[in-house]
Each structure stands twice: as structure tokens, then as C-alpha cells.
Structure 1
Amino acid sequence: MTWGPADEESGSSVRPITERRLRVMLRAQDGIAIDASYDPGPAPGDGLVIVLAHGFTGDLERPHVRRAAGVFAQRAAVVTFSFRGHGRSGGRSTVGDREVLDLAAAVEWARSLGHARVATVGFSMGGSVVLRHAASHRGRTEARTDAVVSVSAPARWFYRGTAPMRRLHWVVSRPTGRMVGRLGLRTRIQPWSAGVWDPVPLSPVESVPLIAPTPLLVVHGDRDPYFPLDHPRMLAEAADGGAELWLEPGMGHAENAASDALLDRIGAWVATAGAAQ
């Protein structure tokens, strides 16, 4: 992973546990430019940083992403970034496959800033990515995570059991849908005819057993219109007792539906779980 300052930070230099906000362009392992931002949060304290992985069609400048980052920043430093194909990042979205490389670059950057503990919190697509990342970046690698929170994530691929997911599959799989994604949703999507998901990546539920002993929290709303409750239950069951499951009454889907109170509870869980490692 490499990084360089974004245009507005062209005169900055990165120091351990920096005391001001930074905006940089990272490079994922495959060379894609990833727009990232750092908020030092409160006093450095124990060196905890939360890396926030947004959902499909989000980016680090979306209001719901900024709101979540702002709540987390009351407890820890926060790194936000835009997945490939989103916002100012380069490339095209692969809808959860190569996005693991984007998250790994953000985690490595967080550690390069001097943080001893890194937690990943992902929403929807980002929720699936944090699970796959934790499973594939274990051990002493600089891209490892010390605690994982997956919010509103699918358990399995190719799910079409709800109307919102059928619409999403249309956006991703059809040329007209990808044009809608680019023009209406500000998301550039890789054509599936170009070999995306060949081979099919490890699914979230297949990834979960590989995460232990890293602390894992699965959060899901009981009114999620995209993924019904069998998804979070499958994820928690796959952990075989190694995960906490929060089923939130009245909550819908992902960042938009997560209240400030819930986000603060997640931040508190991360602070405690990460310190236990």
C-alpha cells in the first residue's frame, strides 16, 4: 500500500498519531486509487482507530457516512474512505469482491499513523467486506484488524429474495442499470461480462469461521428491507459462539437507519473488544 496527499493536503506530512484531519489518496494492492480521510478524534489515548467501510453507492462525503464517522470520532480516531468506483476513488465497483483490497489499504494507512489498535466497522456491502477482510488478513500482517463489526450485511451471495435486492441486481447486471448507477447513484460499476467474480469470492458466512479469535459483532435491524433476519443469524451461527449478535428493533438498513445511539453503542463495544486483544 502506498499513499499520497490529496490536492487540498499537498503540503502535509504524515506523523504518528497526527493531531489534525488528513485527506489522502491511497493505492490498493492492485493499483486502484482510494480516497481516504483521517479524523484524529479525541485525545490519542490508547491509540484506537475505527476504519469505516460504507455501503454500496456510498462514499466518504455522503451525509450518512459523515454522521456515522462523527459519532465514532467521539470515542476514537476514525478513517473513512470511498470504495473503488465510489466518490473520488478510482476504478469500478466489484460489489464486494476486490473491495477487500481497498479496506486493507485503509487499515494499513491507519496503522502507519501510529495506531496500535484498529477496528473495522462495515455497513451492508461494507459489512460483507469487513468479514472477508478479517478472514483473509489474519496473523501479523499490517492489514490485520483487532475487532470487527458487520452491520446490515448479507450472509450469502446472489440473494434476490426482496424487492430492493432484485432492483440492485438489475443495476449491477444490466448495461442500462449500470448507467443508472453511474448517473443517478454516482457509482461506477464493473461490467459483469468483464470477468467480475470469476472465481466467486468466499461468501460472508464462509468467512466468519476464519475470523476467530478476533472479536466479532453482528448488528442487524428487524425491519431491514434488503436482508431478512436469517442473514445475521446465519453469520452469528457460523461463528460458533465467537460472535455477539444484536438484533435491533425497528431498525432498517445500514448507515441511514443506524441511530446515533446505536452508533455510540457500537463505538463503545469496539473500545472494549479491541482492548481485550
Structure 2
Amino acid sequence: MSSAPEDRFRMSGVPLVTAGDLRVVLRTADGVPVEALYEPCAAGPGDTAIVVAHGFTGSVDRPAVRRAAGVFARHAAVVTFSFRGHGRSGGRSTVGDKEVLDLAAAVEWARGLGHRRVVTVGFSMGGSVVLRHAALYGAGGPKGRSAGGERPDAHTDAVASVSAPARWYYRGTAPMRRLHWVVTRPLGRLVGRFGLRTRIHTQDWDPVPLSPVDAVPLIAPTPLLIVHGDSDPYFPLDHPRMLAQAATGAAGPGAAELWVEAGMGHAENAAGDELLERVGEWLMR
């Protein structure tokens, strides 16, 4: 495997978790330090790496993220990381906007470690980020960012989005109204910082980033999987259906797969091992 350039990736002082595991601090395109963890495939070396994007208030060391990484590691090497404002990463959360730069840094790192095929899977906020990332850095993106593009190593070869919103500013459920209070109110951001261990940016989006439903038509021909639970308390089923319809309308039937999971709640905490196993198998196609 080739080594990453020293000026792009800086080793942290955190000891290796197990033989073969690697913890580093990545530097995003806008200069934010992001903690990341690489775990080799349990079945042996391979060409594929799966990059996992957690949900809002998650982090690389949260139990649900570690469980998902453990299942995915049966299929491929796994990169997990903490979005800005989460865990031991720097900066403040922009709740899905600048986080696309964090994911791009993680994907570039995976390729720098020698993986020729890198795929992404995201949950909730991370689910919206992987969609926007696939649109902005993929072959169908508006600026043509892929091979030979602005950041040629940041593109994904397949994307799975779990429990993602289709549109911004959704307040149709009680959990989302509470989340908006946390994000938009000074007292709410204090609760986020000290109660949820998440540091949230104080400024509104300017400009408003590309929404997930507007990003989806730009993803093809990259394979796309949309997963959603029919008992999700945050986003009802019109969200995944809007995403799937947008993909189909842009690229035709088969542009995206939609899995509606019976009895499933929200994001990585609700994704059982059996579902994670199926997602891992899909990413390895």
C-alpha cells in the first residue's frame, strides 16, 4: 500500500487500538482537524474500504458506530471519523453543510492507504452528507469533480444513505422540533455542548447547501442505496420515497435501490446487525 503525503495527514498521539488499526488526525480542505480511525478487514487485505459517516451527536467512539464498523469490517477495511464539532475533532458542527469536507478528507485518506475502491455509508445527518458528497465529488457532479477533477481522490464508488432527510428545515415531528431548538437557540446549543457533547456553529447557513433531494439526481452513475425504517420517529417515509423518486426521475429505473425496513427506528442506533450485514454486502457488489 502507498503511504499518504505527510503534509495532508498528521498522526495523533493516540496509541493504536489493535495490531493493524490506525488513529490519525486528518486536515480538511478548510483546515479543520478531524479524528479518524482505520481498521483492516477481518478477512484479510482487500481493495475496498468502507467510510462510515455517523449521525448528529455521534462520534468515532460511540458504541453504535463501533458496532456498525465491526459488522462492516467483515467485508472490507473500515474508516470511521468524528465530524467537526463531535468527539475529539475540531471546529463546530454545521449540521450537514461543511461536513462534506470532513467526509472528503476521510475518503482521500482511505485511497491514500492504497484502497482502489472506496465506498461510503452514512446515518441520519451522515446520510445527508454522503448524498451531497457523492453528488459534488462524483462523475455526475455539477463541477465534474471526479477523475481529473478538483480533488480526484475524494470521490466515492458507491453510496448507502440510512435514515436521511430529503429536505432541509423539516419540523414535522416532535424529535425534529427539539433538534431545531438545540441547533438554533443559544440555550439549545449549550445543551448540545454539555449534554450531547456536540459543539454547534452559531451562524445560519449562507448560502443554504444543496439539499439531499436536489443532490440525488447528480449521483448517477454511482450506485445508490437508500435505507429507511418505517418506524423512524424523525423522518417519515415520504423522505426516502422523495429521494428514490428523484434518483429515478433523473437517471431512470434502477438508479437507486430503496429498502424500507419494517419496525426500524432511526439511524445507527436502530440498525440491527442483520441490516448492517446486508448493507455491507450491497457495498461490496
Partner of 1:37: 37
Asked if residue 159 in structure 1 is aligned to residue 165 in structure 2, the reply is no
3-state SS of paired residue (2:49): strand
Alignment of 1:221-236 (within 5 A): 221-236=229-244
CA distance in 1 between counterparts of 2:43 and 2:9 reads 25
Asked if residue 98 in structure 1 is aligned to residue 98 in structure 2, the reply is yes
Q: 2:273 aligns with which of 240, 260, 264?
A: 260
RMSD: 1.2
Q: 2:197 aligns with which of 167, 175, 186?
A: 186
Alignment of 1:192-271 (within 5 A): 192=203, 196-240=204-248, 241=253, 242-271=255-284
CA distance in 2 between counterparts of 1:249 and 1:9 reads 41
Counterpart of 2:215, as a letter, is S
* Maintained 8 Å contact 1:9/1:24: no
Partner of 1:67: 67
User: Per-residue CA shift, 1:123-146, capped at 9, x if unaligned?
Assistant: 000000000000000221100000
Normalized against structure 2, the TM-score is what? 0.90
User: Please, which runs of 5 or more residues in structure 2 have no aligned partner?
Assistant: 1-6, 139-145
* Maintained 8 Å contact 2:43/2:74: no
* Maintained 8 Å contact 2:46/2:77: no
* Residue 44 of structure 1: how far off its partner (Å): 4.4
* Residue 72 of structure 1: how far off its partner (Å): 0.3
* Residue 3 of structure 1: how far off its partner (Å): 1.1
CA distance in 2 between counterparts of 1:61 and 1:72 reads 15
Identity of matched residues, %: 70
* Residue 42 of structure 1: how far off its partner (Å): 2.5
CA distance in 2 between counterparts of 1:82 and 1:180 reads 19
User: Per-residue CA shift, 1:26-84, capped at 9, x if unaligned?
Assistant: 00000000000000023445411100000000000000000000000011100000000
Alignment of 1:43-82 (within 5 A): 43-82=43-82
Partner of 2:4: none
Is the alpha carbon distance of 1:109 and 1:117 closer, same or farther for their aligned partners in structure 2, counting shifts above 3 Å? same
Counterpart of 1:145, as a letter, is T
CA distance in 2 between counterparts of 1:84 and 1:2 reads 17
Partner of 1:15: none
CA distance in 1 between counterparts of 2:240 and 2:79 reads 25
Asked if residue 121 in structure 1 is aligned to residue 132 in structure 2, the reply is no
* Maintained 8 Å contact 2:46/2:76: no
User: Per-residue CA shift, 1:9-42, capped at 9, x if unaligned?
Assistant: 49xxxxxxxx700000000000000000000023
Counterpart of 1:97, as a letter, is D
CA distance in 1 between counterparts of 2:264 and 2:132 reads 24
CA distance in 2 between counterparts of 1:191 and 1:42 reads 41
User: Please, which runs of 5 or more residues in structure 1 have no aligned partner?
Assistant: 11-18, 273-277
CA distance in 2 between counterparts of 1:259 and 1:43 reads 21
* Residue 2 of structure 1: how far off its partner (Å): 1.4
CA distance in 2 between counterparts of 1:210 and 1:74 reads 30
Normalized against structure 1, the TM-score is what? 0.92
3-state SS of paired residue (1:7): coil
3-state SS of paired residue (2:101): helix
